[in-house]
Amino acid sequence: MNRKKRVKRWLSMMILFALLLGTVACDKQTATRREGTGRTATPTTAATATPTAEATPTGVVTPTTEVTPTTTVTPSAEPTKAPEFGPAENCAIEFPTRDLYHYDMDLTLDAKAHTIGGHIDFTFYNDTKDTWDKLCLRDYPSLFTDPVKVGYSRSTRLDGEITGISGFTDSRDGSEISWTRDTDVSVLWLSIATPLAPGEKMTLSYDFTTKIPAVDDRFGYVDGVFNVTNFYPILAEYDRNGWCTAAFYGDGECFYSEVSNYDVRITFPAGFYAATTGTEKNKAEAENTVTYTYHAPCVREFVFSASDTFAQLTRDCDDVRVNILFPKNYATRDAWDEAMELTFFCAEKSLEAFGEAFGRYPYEELDIIYTPLAAGGMEYPNLIIIADNVCQPVLTFNDTGAGPSFYMLEECVSHEIGHQWFMGIVGSNSGMQPWMDESITSYTELVYAEYLDNLGVAAIRGSFEATDLRDKTQAAKLIRNENLPINKSYYEYSNSTRYVSSIYSWGQIVFYQMELILGHKEFQSVLREYVHRFAFTNAMPEDFFTVLYEFAGTENEQLNALLDNCFDLSRLKTAS
């Protein structure tokens, strides 16, 4: 997700604008929209829109806590091992050969009632060493009955409803399963009559109907577009701490599930079209409806965005079919064509950059949806949702003047594509360990910028090196403001502002400074090995450190100083 981070950057950039506006003239059209400044990729293909002003950033990412730099990090350690550590650049990421969970769904979208529902046959097995005498499922849509629980003010009117669920059946004996909702209404407890032994398989069948609330959210209906995500009762993750019942929060993710195969049939009103996780396999039209069949292998969840107003653009980007979908009327907006060109450019370069750095994107397709969205963007397997206002050019300044750029679009699209590796391919407990999700993904923004070697990289590096995180005095200030250590759960921060500053901004810098110490290509080889080793599993915090120490050894003084200051290493064996 990329939400308040953008707001914070915007605020810091506005301070910069205040200083610059007195001397830099800007045209009326862009002045009305100015939201920030920063880096702009320089497209290298003729077909790609070139922003009207090439920006040399005058300001880049500014973490929210002011720290007076006293030292500057410089790469000083020789790489401990040769760059050939781990698999080669651009290596393939193969789907696992082990038996995967399987969701078979027959669904119907009722566009008038704003509901999605149907029947699910979910086949799975106990993949732990513990016997399961109950099952835990998560039902996030029911939380939209309480605005505070989903990140809105208490006075906000939401039209969410408790999900209607019936007919939980255990395939092993055909018995109906009794179940209850926890105090947290998103947590369902199913009392299975016969415990599920380690390795034992069963099919859980059930029916559900979910209300889609009228909000511009990752789960919601607005302006004719249904964003239908985290929408069906899904098996919670069972890890060494048992069933994960971490609370939902609106500023990030608590989503934590097992990679599964999906076969899904959705019936829509005639004229509707959807972008989904996975790929479309069949289309069957009836008098007033259309039914699509989708197959989605090896993903953590299935989501879709649907509308009868969608326009679609499709291109091959680095051997991946990239579809951009948006309401047709957006095409009349200023600079829309340029924004779409740049979106394709950003998708292609992100897939290239991350494929080289972490292993190639293993799926056929990637969908990018533009809709009204309160957050800047949100990631799902094979599908990202980007706020439509990100497509507006923002004013940037450089030494020769000012002009519009799509800095926010590039940052947002590359960030959400980065999540395809760090969330999608390597999962983690995103609520309890957000640094494994959002901090690493924020670092991928820099991997993208470095791959392009664009004009902003030097300035970004300068900003990211201004505070030496190996320095205890510097770190102490950041610890006092909750920016460090970064391996805290969302729930441990005193407010979401501090969470965002720590996990997104400082987390990004922590990873960048690891790169400085170990070397650019060398650090990417560490991440590539981490992805290779933990692909399609849920990694634990110490898994990352295991790979890191395998490369760097445990005696690298600079790395150890950084890790000691930026992580609470005492947590590694017990946290999850």
Q: Is 1 a binder of Zn ion (CB under 5 A)?
A: yes
Minimum Å distance from CB 114 to Zn ion? 27
Q: For Zn ion, which is the closer residue by CB, 338 or 416?
A: 416
Q: For Zn ion, which is the closer residue by CB, 1 or 296?
A: 1
Tokens of 222: 């607005």
Q: For Zn ion, which is the closer residue by CB, 170 or 416?
A: 416
Q: Specify burial of residue 570 (Cβ count, 10 A radius: 0-12, 13-18, 19+).
A: exposed
Q: For Zn ion, which is the closer residue by CB, 438 or 465?
A: 438
Q: For Zn ion, which is the closer residue by CB, 251 or 341?
A: 251
Minimum Å distance from CB 543 to Zn ion? 20
Q: For Zn ion, which is the closer residue by CB, 141 or 507?
A: 507
Helix (H) or strand (E) holding 88: none
Q: Give the interface segment with Zn ion, choosing from 14-22, 291-299, 303-311, 437-445 (CB under 5 A).
A: 437-445
CB atoms within 10 A of CB 329: 11
Give the 3-state secondary structure percentages of the chain, helix then strand then coil, rounded to 5: 30, 25, 45
Q: For Zn ion, which is the closer residue by CB, 429 or 441?
A: 441
Minimum Å distance from CB 380 to Zn ion? 11
Q: Give the interface segment with Zn ion, choosing from 33-41, 211-219, 359-367, 430-438 (CB under 5 A).
A: 430-438
Minimum Å distance from CB 5 to Zn ion? 8
Q: Give the interface segment with Zn ion, choosing from 2-10, 212-220, 298-306, 562-570 (CB under 5 A).
A: 2-10
Q: For Zn ion, which is the closer residue by CB, 115 or 441?
A: 441
Q: Is 192 a binder of Zn ion (CB under 5 A)?
A: no
Q: For residue 111, how far is the Cα from the chain centroid?
A: 27
Tokens of 142: 């029911």
* Stretch 382-421: interaction string toward Zn ion, x if CB under 5 A: ----------------------------------------
Residues in 438-467 that interact with Zn ion by CB under 5 A: 438, 441
Cα–Cα distance list, 196 to 134, 178, 205, 536 (Å): 8, 15, 15, 23
Q: For Zn ion, which is the closer residue by CB, 384 or 452?
A: 384
Residue number with the smallest Cβ distance to Zn ion: 1
Q: Give the interface segment with Zn ion, choosing from 138-146, 350-358, 435-443, 493-501 (CB under 5 A).
A: 435-443
Give the C-alpha separation, 368 to 317, whole Å: 13
CB atoms within 10 A of CB 79: 19
Q: Which residues contact 383 (CB under 8 A, 6 or more apart)?
A: 275, 276, 277, 303, 304, 305, 366, 367, 368, 369
Q: Give the interface segment with Zn ion, choosing from 1-9, 99-107, 195-203, 403-411 (CB under 5 A).
A: 1-9
* Stretch 531-550: interaction string toward Zn ion, x if CB under 5 A: --------------------
Q: Which residue has the tokens 């939380």?
A: 143
Tokens of 476: 């102490």
CA atoms within 13 A on the CB side of 391: 28
Q: Give the interface segment with Zn ion, choosing from 29-37, 98-106, 301-309, 431-439 (CB under 5 A).
A: 431-439
Cα–Cα distance list, 364 to 148, 224, 298, 386 (Å): 38, 27, 12, 20
Q: Is 436 a binder of Zn ion (CB under 5 A)?
A: no
Q: Which of 344, 367, 542, 561 lies closest to 472 in space, CA to CA?
A: 561
Give the C-alpha separation, 93 to 98, whole Å: 15
How many residues of this chain bind Zn ion (CB under 5 A)?
4
Minimum Å distance from CB 503 to Zn ion? 9
Q: For Zn ion, which is the closer residue by CB, 258 or 438?
A: 438
Give the C-alpha separation, 191 to 176, whole Å: 10
- Site residues, Zn ion (CB under 5 A): 1-2, 438, 441
